[in-house]
Amino acid sequence: MLRDPDRHVMEQAYARWAPIYDALCGPVLLSGRRAAATAAREVGGRILEVGVGTGLSFDDYDATTEITGIDISEPMIARARERIQTGRYPFVKELAVMDAQELTFADASFDCVVGQFVITLVEDPERVLSECVRVLRPGGQIILVNHLYSERGLMAAVERLVAQKARKLGLRPEFPFQRLAAWAQAHGGAELIERRKIKPFGTYTLVRFRRADTHNAVA
Ligand SMILES: C[S@@+](CC[C@H](N)C(=O)[O-])C[C@H]1O[C@@H](n2cnc3c(N)ncnc32)[C@H](O)[C@@H]1O
pLDDT in tens, the chain (219 residues): 678 888 888 899 999 999 999 999 999 999 999 999 999 999 999 999 999 999 999 999 999 999 999 999 999 999 999 999 999 999 999 999 999 999 999 999 999 999 999 999 999 999 999 999 999 999 999 999 999 987 888 888 888 888 888 877 888 888 899 999 999 999 999 999 999 999 888 889 999 999 998 755 444
Q: What is the DSSP string of 118-151?
A: -GGGSS-HHHHHHHHHHHEEEEEEEEEEE-----
Contact 34, 57 (CB under 8 A): no
Using alpha carbons, list the distances in angstroms from residue 172 to 106, 146, 166: 30, 10, 6
**Roughly how many angstroms between the first and final C-alpha of the chain, as a whole number?**
25
Distance of alpha carbon 79 from alpha carbon 75, whole angstroms: 6
The finding on whether 131 has its CB within 6 A of some atom of ligand 1 is: no
The finding on whether 145 has its CB within 6 A of some atom of ligand 1 is: no
- Helix %, strand %, coil % of the chain (to 5): 40, 25, 35
Is the dihedral angle over the CA atoms 1, 101, 117, 42 positive or is it negative?
positive
| Total residues found in the chain within this entry | 219
Which ligand 1 atom sits closest to the C-alpha of 128? 19
Q: Report pTM.
A: 0.93
Gap from CA of 64 to ligand 1 centroid (Å): 24
Ligand 1 pocket mutation pick from 6, 10, 114 by most atoms within 8 angstroms of CB: 10
The finding on whether 50 has its CB within 6 A of some atom of ligand 1 is: yes
The finding on whether 118 has its CB within 6 A of some atom of ligand 1 is: yes
The finding on whether 209 has its CB within 6 A of some atom of ligand 1 is: no
The finding on whether 120 has its CB within 6 A of some atom of ligand 1 is: no
What pLDDT does residue 1 have? 67
What pLDDT does residue 161 have? 83
